[in-house]
Amino acid sequence: MHPQSSPPPSALARYLSPIVALAATFLLVAATIIVLAPRASAATLDPVPSFGTDPGNLAMYEYVPDDLPAGAPVVVLLHGCAQDAAAYHQHSGWAEQADASGIALVYAQQNSGNNATSCFNWFEPTDVARDSGEARSIRSMVEHAVDTHELDPGRVYVSGLSAGGAMAAELLAAYPDLFAGGSIVAGIPVGCATGMIDAFTCMNPGKDRTPEQWGNEVRAKLPDGADLPRVAVWHGTSDTTVAPANGDASVAQWLNAGGAPTEPDATEQLPGSTTASYYGGGPDDAAVAHYSVSGLGHGTPVDPGSDCGTAGAYFLASVCSTGYTAQFWGIDGGSGPTDPPTEEPTDPPTEEPTDPPSGECVTASNYAHVAEGRAVHRSGTAYAVGSDAPLGLWNLAVTTSLTETSPDYWEHTVDGC
């Protein structure tokens, strides 16, 4: 996720602030299967040109399986930076889950006029406040979908990756009366950032706050008398884009906000070296679930071998987070993952997807290199991953070329690609 707000034509009210954060993997276990019920669907992902008030200037897309009965649940999905609704629909596994379980899907899509790198502006107070900016636009999408397709207003959920995960967290706090549950995938705790500098600090190394301080950020946004939604937090222990401390902080935040015990009531081992910890109840009724994936980097985990999404940039063959999330929310209709196998794969996950291949040369700004895992930043300077070659200032203005000479080893190509 990368903070990069483009200022509106009328004024520089929203500072240019890139937040691109996406990349990495969850572990593949082919034996774990999403048992999809045979629900044929010729449905397509369709744009919704008009969906009501749209102060955040977002686009809406929807996917409604054929013959979806009235009273079906709906899941709102928020892509990461440099992604769009179509990519998230194609790769995330939610299309298959929707067909199998009878779920309507709503995709919010960022406008490059709002953010140059297509990140949701989770760090802008005016975009995350109740009934303001992008948050209000997403509420309009939900209301339009529920009314148009006669969906169940009591079974509305939201999930997102990275910047989308951070925005999902903000929405859960701003609209606990709208969302029954949410999933924060490699995201950021509520209230962590109020601008660009905050955003980068939140991403890595993360902010050090007490559980009560994190909980206060949620309580400050909650409408009076609102019940908290059920929250699932997914994070890899080797995430170098959004530090794993953010996953721990998100869990602590929601536990404190709801007054739930800080020790899990139950734990279980899932595929992909994933440990699921359930707080405030067991798997079927927990208030908060923490899915921690050992050795995993940053991204949306999918499992193509079990008909759960497809691999691609930032969608990595691993564990089916979509199926386990739908199961946690209780909307999988019995089509969720089966019991995990007893054996784990021997190969550890890698930080990056299989693409790009070794030898590829990439020319981009130093901001983009850092955000996409080809470089790291220290004290305002970007350095190539692997070779540690200095690339110059960590900003949008400096453009450099990097060549991957071996997996995860990038060298500065002085003469360009």
Judge contact between 162 and 187, C-beta under 8 A: yes
Q: Which of 5, 17, 162, 318 is catalytic?
A: 162
Q: Which helix (H) or strand (E) holds 62?
A: strand 59-63
Q: Where would I find the beta strands (DSSP E) of 280-352? A: 288-293, 300-302, 315-317
Residue 411 CB-density burial (10 A; 0-12 exposed, 13-18 middle, 19+ buried):
middle
Q: How far apart are CA 271 and CA 292, in angstroms?
A: 11
Measured in degrees and rounded to the nearest 5, phi and psi for residue 355 equal -95, 145
Q: In sequence order, which residues have a C-beta less than 8 Å from that of residue 358 and are 6 or more positions away? A: 404, 405, 406, 407
Pairing between β-strand 46-48 and β-strand 59-63 as defined by DSSP bridges? antiparallel
Partners of 48 in the β-ladder: 60
Residues 6+ apart with CB under 8 A from 224: none
Q: Is 335 among the residues known to form the active site?
A: no
| Residue at 416: amino acid letter | G
Active-site amino acid positions: 162
